[in-house]
Amino acid sequence: MTKPFTIGDKLLIGLLICWSLSALLPRRGPGDWALIEADGKPLGRFPLKGEEDISAQGPLGITHIRIAGGRVWVVDSPCPHKLCVKMGKKVRAGEVIVCVPNRVIVRVEGRRDFDSITP
Amino acid sequence: MTRSPHKGGAQKLTRLSLLVALGLALYTVESLIPLPLGRVGLANLATLLALSLFGGGEALLVMGMRVLLGSILLGGPLNPASLLSFAGGVASTSMMILLFPLYPRVFSIVGISIWGALAHNLAQILAAYLLLGRAEGIFSLLPLIPLISLAGGLIVGLLAWLVISRLLAWEWNDHGLE
């Protein structure tokens, strides 16, 4: 029985670590608006420039989303784990906040971003 | 390694059944973890053991039986969780069978396991995309895939290594692996 960590193993592990680190690099500039979907239906596009509080009605209740200072985040949500609240404030185009239990999706989009995400 | 004279079909059947039961138990325990992507893929341990101790066909059999019985026990055969589990199982088992000729010279059992975990997670993302109304948001999980696969593959691979090195001492395998 060969011991673990042959050269192939080490290369594979190194490759996977590089791949996951590359995800941390910023790839896109700040977004221009947030596209919010609730329960499968689009609520609309909300510009990130201003300040706004948005209530998204999902099957569990209302997810409160706030836009201020060019960022968007979930303030409060009726879901059990509050993962969407913990996902924090999003700035860059392409970033997404998803609340799976309450079926709310917030996508940050930019004007030059249509090739990657088609709404 | 010499074959023991009493090694017949019944013994092999028993051992493969044990592996199915092991996979099913691990799958059940793991399904109690609430995070959908935080799973290690522990059930893959049974498939990996079947592959290295018996062969590719036996690995597919153990995986298929585990998914079938698992879907009967937890939900229905056609519910999304079972389909996701089937997609992940087929992908990871195929990947491991495909790369197994490189064992043990290029990849150890840990390497094979990491490849399996990678195929498992990629297939599950793809299947989730196709099943859950083609929500593109699911691809935002892609950057997590290498980390999750690495962690899961390492844990399962090291466990498999520990188990196999002990089982080989009892001549548990089908094709004289050393």
Instruction: Look up the domain containing A57 and give its range.
Output: 33-109
Answer whether residue A71 is part of any domain. Answer: yes
A26-65 confidence digits (pLDDT tens): 666 788 889 999 988 888 899 998 899 999 998 889 999 9
B157–A1 C-beta distance less than 8 A: no
Q: Which CATH architecture has domain B12-168?
A: Orthogonal Bundle (1.10)
Query: What's the pLDDT score for residue B38?
Result: 55
Tokens, residue A95? 């970033």
Q: Which residues contact B20 (CB under 8 A, 6 or more apart)?
A: B46, B62, B65, B66, B69
Q: Which of B105, B114, B142 sits opposite A12 (nearest CB)?
A: B114
Average pLDDT on B149-166 reads 92
> Considering only CB atoms, which chain B residues are within 8 Å of A96?
137, 140
Please state, rounded to an integer, the average pLDDT across all residues of chain B: 84
Answer whether residue A68 is part of any domain. Answer: yes
B108–A9 C-beta distance less than 8 A: yes
**Secondary structure (3-state) at A63:** strand
What is the band of B5 on the pLDDT scale with cuts at 50, 70, 90?
very low
A87-99 confidence digits (pLDDT tens): 889 888 888 898 8
Q: Domain with A75 in it: what CATH number? A: 2.60.320.10
Please state, rounded to an integer, the average pLDDT across all residues of chain A: 84
Into how many domains does chain A fold? 1
A81–B104 C-beta distance less than 8 A: no
Predicted TM-score (pTM) of the model is 0.67
How far is it, in rounded angstroms, from Cα A118 to Cα B136?
9
In this structure, are residues B101 and B57 in contact, taking their beta carbons and an 8 Å threshold?
no
Say if the ipTM goes beyond 0.90.
no
Q: How far is CA A59 from CA A56, B38, B98, in A?
A: 10, 25, 44
**Secondary structure (3-state) at A98:** strand
B144–A107 C-beta distance less than 8 A: no
Q: Which of B146, B164, B165 sits opposite A19 (nearest CB)?
A: B146
Answer whether residue A24 is part of any domain. Answer: no
B161–A1 C-beta distance less than 8 A: yes
Q: Which residues contact B131 (CB under 8 A, 6 or more apart)?
A: B80, B83, B84
Q: Which contacts (CB < 8 Å, 24+ apart) does range B80-83 have?
A: B80/B131, B80/B132, B81/B31, B83/B127, B83/B131
Q: How far is CA A25 from CA A29, A34, A100, B147, in A?
A: 12, 21, 26, 15
What is the band of B6 on the pLDDT scale with cuts at 50, 70, 90?
very low
More confident residue, B27 or B153: B153
* End-to-end Cα, chain B, rounded Å: 8
